[in-house]
Amino acid sequence: MSDTITAIATPMGEGGISVIRISGAQSLAIASVLFRPSSGAKLKEFIPQRVYFGEILDTQSQTCVDEVLLTYFKAPKSYTAEDVVEISAHGGLFVATKILQLLQDQGARLAEPGEFTRRAFLNGRIDLSQAEAVTDVIHAASERALRSAVSQLKGSLSTQLNEWFERLLAVLAQLEASIDFSEEGLEFQKRETTLAEIQAIQKDLHALIQTYRQGKIFREGAQVALLGKPNVGKSSLLNALLKEDRAIVTPLPGTTRDTLEERLRIRDIHINIIDAAGLRENPEAIEKEGMQRARAALERADLALVIFDSSEALDANDDLLIREVLDKPHRIILNKCDLPQRLEVPTLQARFPNAEFISISAKNGTGLSGLCDAIYQFVMGDSSLNETLVITRERHRQCLVTANTALLNSCASLEQNLSEEFVAVDVTIAMDRLAVILGKTFEDDLLDQIFGEFCIGK
């Protein structure tokens, strides 16, 4: 990290402002070649965290490229914990790119995706879980997702994991001492005390793992699939929820042949809603492919909205639908409540004895508010989790599951009165997995994967 990097930190295109960021030991020296402060201040006179007005000069033509604001952040009090300079220019693709090229001409290297945040991590300003939270803040699509991401960015997850790590380290120290000095006649922590401490950590760790479903939904949105036989009103319901004609609707069955995905906001969460082809017996060749995609959508959905036409009696196609969705979290939607009713609801309730039934009319909007409430209640789940610490990434979940298993094994070893060596091995495994989440230990491939998700300039 001895070189100095630069990139445009704001979105490409026209706008009110473009920010070009420079990080590294030569940041101020490189910027000062191009920047002429209106105050006439010299390089050594620049005060950190102060904004300077001036202009950027093309050193070859000695012409003004743009009037800008320059801010200098001295290490370690900067985003990367290195010397950082930020140049705020007028928004515009050409001017920002021109300044970026001039900085490269002076020796700065174009940053790789996520390299500024990567340097912040490697320089110890943030840990790896906080670095991951940066991109979650950027991509947050709802109030709930933003709150969760900001909480992790501020270190809520880090604080909890570090606490468990330190407590396990203390346990490991006692175990190692009893192994190394077993013949010295010394008294060590009782096995019952060690067991109680590990069990307490394991219980809390297991509870955190259980928040993953909700945390994943906060971060990525809930996947909600619309399922039903042809011409039951799936596309009409999608249009009604979106309040726009997004899907083609015709009286002909089988109009939808492919899946259509759209994002919908319900209060402070976002929903990825999937309109899929209708399921029916004896489909045509093209419909078969559409049905396969509908089944794939059902497989990855968090919730299936199973739609029935309440103006028609149940038939073989409805039986097929029922068989497909029984093992998936679902809500039963009785559409077309504005028409004369022919559906035998008690018969359907017998097929779905524990399901919630919601009567709607996608055509005139009746019942849509109640449907949105039902989706929201399902997504939010246990209300007690809503404001607590949650995990949002599969990487974190996998590490915690491994740590949880290791702690359970260590407890079993203690209860079976096995040697401390067995207990110590499993405690070490648990600590290692916590360390991987925090970035106390890491491999370059992992960093490449994480920071490769970032945009250039962040």
Residue 244 has pLDDT above 80, yes or no: no
Cβ-contact 437, 413 below 8 angstroms:
no
**What is the pLDDT, as a whole number, of residue 146?**
87
Q: What is the pLDDT of residues 6-31, one digit of tens each?
A: 999 998 878 889 999 999 999 999 99
pLDDT of residue 249: 46
Paired with 58 in beta bridges are 63
User: Taking 50 as the threshold, does the pLDDT of residue 248 lie above it?
Assistant: no
Lowest mean pLDDT among 182-196, 386-400, 410-424: 182-196
Q: In this predicted structure, what is the pLDDT of residue 391? A: 93
pLDDT above 80 (res 164):
yes
Instruction: List C-alpha distances in Å: 159 to 387, 393, 437.
Output: 16, 17, 12
> Using one digit for the tens of pLDDT, what is the confidence trace for 174-219?
888 877 665 555 556 788 899 999 999 999 999 999 999 888 888 8
Q: Map out the domains of the chain with their CATH numbers.
A: 5-127 (3.30.1360.120), 141-211+391-439 (1.20.120.430), 223-381 (3.40.50.300)
pTM of the shown model: 0.80
Q: What percent of the chain has pLDDT above 70?
A: 90
> What pLDDT, on the 0 to 100 scale, is given for residue 53?
95
Query: Mean of the pLDDT values across residues 238-260?
Result: 62
> What is the predicted pLDDT for the residue at 252?
43
* Percent helix, percent strand, percent coil in the chain, to nearest 5: 45, 15, 35
Task: Give me the mean pLDDT over the 238-249 stretch.
Answer: 70
Q: Which residue has the higher pLDDT, 307 or 385?
A: 307
Return the higher-pLDDT residue of 324 and 281: 324
Residue 387 pLDDT greater than 60, yes or no: no
Mean pLDDT, the chain, rounded, equals: 86
CB 236 within 8 A of CB 255: no
CA pair distance 282, 162, nearest whole angstrom: 58
* Contact criterion met (CB below 8 Å) for 249 and 335: no
pLDDT at 170 over 80: yes
Percentage of residues in the chain with pLDDT exceeding 90?
50
Both structure tokens of 227 = 């399922």
47-104: pLDDT as tens digits: 899 999 999 999 889 899 999 999 999 999 999 999 999 999 998 889 999 999 999 9
